[in-house]
Structure 1
Amino acid sequence: MDKLTSEHRSWLMRQVKAKNTKPEIAVRRLIYAAGFRYRLHVTHLPGKPDIVFLGRRKVIFVHGCFWHGHDGCRYGRLPKEREDFWREKIKNNQARDLRNIIDLETTAWKVLVVWQCELKDCESLLEKLNEFIKKK
């Protein structure tokens, strides 16, 4: 049984934005503090990646664990009400994400996905970001 009414759950889900989310901003701050400069939401690339390094041909997607179905993550659990709807929605999001990654990689772009839950360990995430950005 869901603890929220369907009206409140609907309102809550409508508050989630596609750009400039808290996890995305946190990742951008880490990258900027490390001395890297980037572009945001480049519209001509598949999926409009959150962070783009044009000269390096690298992109970063910052995924919310719930919206993108992070397996095994406590933030990725589905609501108890309308489970079929949410399961289908998340499955479609994952399929779209995979298509975008494949499209980018076939045009010689390197792709990194950062999950919302990875922000719990900023030191480890910063190492991962540095390695991805600096690697040839």
Structure 2
Amino acid sequence: MSGSWSPPPGSWASSESRRRNMQAIRSRDTAPEWLVRRLVHAQGLRYRVAARPLPGLRRTADMVFRPTKVAVFIDGCYWHGCPEHYVSPKTNPGYWSEKVAKNMARDRDTNERLSEAGWTVLRFWEHESPDTCALTIAATVDKLRAGRGRRDRD
């Protein structure tokens, strides 16, 4: 390897350390997701993890309850533009702000498409209480089951 590092052509990384940092960020199985999943599972609910609710739609929900058509997303404050916690980056702000804006637009589009297909979409921010998220998820799934006349678990 040569002594100086330079980003590949068209790279979003402004430095080698920034590149390593961004590559290490998890897109699934984050700590907030694990906490909520553990609490929901403890309530006896079963679900699919990181699954596509609609086969033809290249969007993945964090938790999917297929029989009741509930899709759960636990959004990171930075990547999804949390109104309370998002702070525009100091390095390459144009690129990152545009990326977050695209993520937000995709989230709205996902919500709309799933709703049109008869799904209930639940979105939570990573900073929300895992207990509150789990209770909301369980109550929603139970309500939809009761409306269908089913009491068994997914």
Q: Secondary structure at the match of 2:73?
A: strand
Q: Secondary structure at the match of 1:41?
A: strand
Are 1:113 and 2:123 counterparts? yes
Report what 2:69 is aligned to.
Answer: 57
Write the distance in 2 (CA, Å) between the matches of 1:82 and 1:20.
Answer: 27
Taking every aligned residue pair, what percent have the same amino acid on both sides?
33
Report what 2:3 is aligned to.
Answer: none
Report what 1:12 is aligned to.
Answer: 21
When normalised by structure 2's length, the TM-score is 0.75
Shift of 1:83: 1.1
Report what 1:132 is aligned to.
Answer: 140
Write the distance in 2 (CA, Å) between the matches of 1:123 and 1:24.
Answer: 12
1:17 partner amino acid: R
RMSD: 1.8
Q: CA-to-partner distance for each residue in 1:50-76, whole Å, 9 max, x for gaps?
A: 101111111101111111111122xx2
Of 78, 89, 99, the residue aligned with 1:89 is: 99
Q: Secondary structure at the match of 1:65?
A: coil
When normalised by structure 1's length, the TM-score is 0.84
Structure 2 matches for 1:29-68, cutoff 5 A? 29-43=38-52, 45=54, 46=57, 47-68=59-80
5+ residue gaps, structure 1 = none
8 A contact 2:53–2:64 mirrored in 1: no
Distance 1:122 1:27, change over 3 A: closer
Q: Which has the larger radius of gyration?
A: 2
Shift of 1:100: 1.1
Write the distance in 1 (CA, Å) between the matches of 2:134 and 2:52.
Answer: 26
Number of positions where the alignment pairs a residue of Structure 1 with one of Structure 2: 128
Are 1:23 and 2:32 counterparts? yes
Q: Secondary structure at the match of 2:121?
A: strand
- The structure in which a higher percent of residues are helix is 1
Write the distance in 2 (CA, Å) between the matches of 1:127 and 1:40.
Answer: 18
